[in-house]
Amino acid sequence: MTGDEIILTIPSEQQFREVAHLVLAGVAARLDLTFEGLDDLETALDAVLERCQTNGEVTVKLRIEDGSIRAAVGPLSVEPLRTELELDPGEAVTLRRVLDTVVDGYKLDPDGWLELSKRLEAEGDSR
């Protein structure tokens, strides 16, 4: 699947997030990802999708690159997201805390796309 990209555009309402989960799970199954890796990606995706505006659409782009799965989510409201990602979360469960815990990297671009990356670890890998 290396080099391929899957683009999914869904309404931003909560009930459509399961569609994004199904697509992500399909990609994970094809790549033989561990359950923990899939769970981490779903947790990160949910945390980002929760911050989407309730009216409109959101797009999720999935691709495999450099031994990682990358998910770009957008377009999102840049300033509130940037503020949440830059502030020290303290004891609060913020987007930054969630992403720091479950993905290997994330980057917000000026156009409102948040890219998440998770190193691929297939079932049976001993990394």
Domain-embedded: residue 19 = yes
60-89 mean pLDDT:
91
Domain-embedded: residue 125 = no
Q: Check if the beta carbon of residue 14 is closer than 8 Å to that of residue 61.
A: no
Domain-embedded: residue 50 = yes
- The pLDDT of residue 57 is 93
Q: Give the model confidence (pLDDT) of 107-116 as tens digits.
A: 999 999 999 9
pLDDT band at 87 (very low <50, low <70, confident <90, very high): confident
- The pLDDT of residue 59 is 96
Domain-embedded: residue 126 = no
Specify the CATH number for the domain of residue 76. Answer: 3.30.565.10
CA distance 69 to 34: 13
The range of the structural domain enclosing residue 50 comes to: 5-119
Write down the pTM of the prediction.
Answer: 0.86
Which are the contacts of 53, defined by CB distance < 8 A and separation ≥ 6?
12, 77
CA distance 71 to 57: 16
pLDDT band at 1 (very low <50, low <70, confident <90, very high): very low
Average per-residue pLDDT in the chain? 89
Domain-embedded: residue 127 = no
**Domain count of the chain?**
1
For residue 14, give the DSSP letter.
G
Domain-embedded: residue 91 = yes
